[in-house]
Amino acid sequence: MKKVVIDRYIPYEGEPFDGIAQTVRLDPSQITRESVRDADALIVRTRTKCGPGLLDGSKVSIVATATIGTDHLDFPWLDAHGITAVSAPGCNAPAVAQYVLTSIFAVGLGQPGMRLGIVGLGHVGSIVASWAGNLGIEILACDPPRERRDKGWDAASPFNAGDMPFVSLGEIGRKADVVTFHTPLTMSGGDRTYHMLDREFIGLAGKAMVINAARGPVADTREFIEGLRRGVIDKVAVDCWEGEPQISTELLRLAEISTPHIAGYSIEGKKRATAMTFNAVLRHLGSERRIDPGVAMTPPAAVSREEIIASYDPLSDSLPLKSDPQAFEHLRNTYNLRHEPATK
């Protein structure tokens, strides 16, 4: 029988691989070269680096990550060794949008007419743009790859092409009252996002609030801290950190909202991610069985301010981390999953 190794923090009920494969649930620290050597499939989260260090010499033929992010997957090596790699794009995008808007509201911003700069108009950024736009917030969007492909974006459906112009990162810095990042982590090339939030950008940002719920290294931590110290940046909400789980205690202290990489941790998002990854593995193993997520796969186009605020308070997750920075991983792994807006 086939063998599937699953990160024990990926929630699911029942035995979806019963009769198809033996399943072994392991803590991320237990997913090692030895424990996966005889596995056929691996289902992980961002803490498990999937490349030669883990998989060389193993039987693994598919790696599925129950996350939007994929920078823990060594795609060139996996591809060269015939290992299929899949992720769960968009699975928790509504939850991250919820985090962004509740963070803005929690610090007293978000009035109609406010300018919100969104860097990265993909799965998450598009929902942020849709929900915020329907609340009367003005949207400025920067996304060079989409600009080359689509020219413009659709205000009514931001994930699609339209006649709304994209703007530069510099224009976002100069004009936005709040800037939120929703890009992948790209280390090189013309669309590099590594340290996109740097000294030059901070110098443009004026008194803007900055939110990083994308990837920690999108922001240069030293410049981030310096901008806060000098009062160049007004307020900060940080969910993604350089060096996780060993995070900057100085940035933690200075940030208005500090959370342990849980912006996307919703009940609905986890169900989508589980279904998307488990179904990919089931297909790969030749089974016709499919997992029903039991939740809507697409978010509503608009959610009221009252529904957003009532759905979550990011300050409730900020205090525990500020009180004990060393608890970062524990807080993340034992997080009490929340509902997305308008889902109860």
Q: Would you state the structure tokens that stand for residue 56, as one six-digit string?
A: 């060389």
In angstroms, what CA-CA distances link 245 with 22, 49, 55?
31, 14, 23
DSSP annotation of 328 reads H
Our answer to whether residue 261 is catalytic in this structure is yes
Sheet of strand 84-86, all strands in order from the earlier edge strand to the far edge: 21-26, 2-7, 41-44, 62-65, 84-86
Where b means 16+ CB within 10 Å and e means fewer, 155-172 reads eeebbeeeebebbebeeb
Task: Decide: helix, strand or coil at residue 262.
Answer: coil
How do 164-165 and 152-153 pair as beta strands? Answer: antiparallel
In whole angstroms, what is the distance from residue 64 CA to residue 75 CA?
A: 12
Our answer to whether residue 244 is catalytic in this structure is yes
Which of 181, 175, 210 lies closest to 223, judged by CA? 210
Helix ranges (H only) for the chain are 33-36, 52-55, 75-80, 93-106, 123-133, 144-150, 169-175, 199-204, 221-229, 249-254, 267-284, 305-311, 315-323, 328-333
Q: Which of 45, 261, 272, 338 is catalytic?
A: 261
What is the DSSP secondary-structure string of 201-237? HHHH-TT-EEEE-S-GGGB-HHHHHHHHHTTSS-EEE
Which of 202, 211, 198 lies closest to 233, judged by CA? 202
Sheet of strand 209-212, all strands in order from the earlier edge strand to the far edge: 138-142, 115-119, 178-181, 209-212, 235-238, 257-258
Q: Which of 138, 147, 171, 244 is catalytic?
A: 244
Q: At what angle do helices 93-106 and 123-133 cross, to 10 degrees?
A: 50
Our answer to whether residue 45 is catalytic in this structure is no
Q: Which of 146, 215, 272, 332 is catalytic?
A: 215
Active site residue ranges: 215, 244, 261
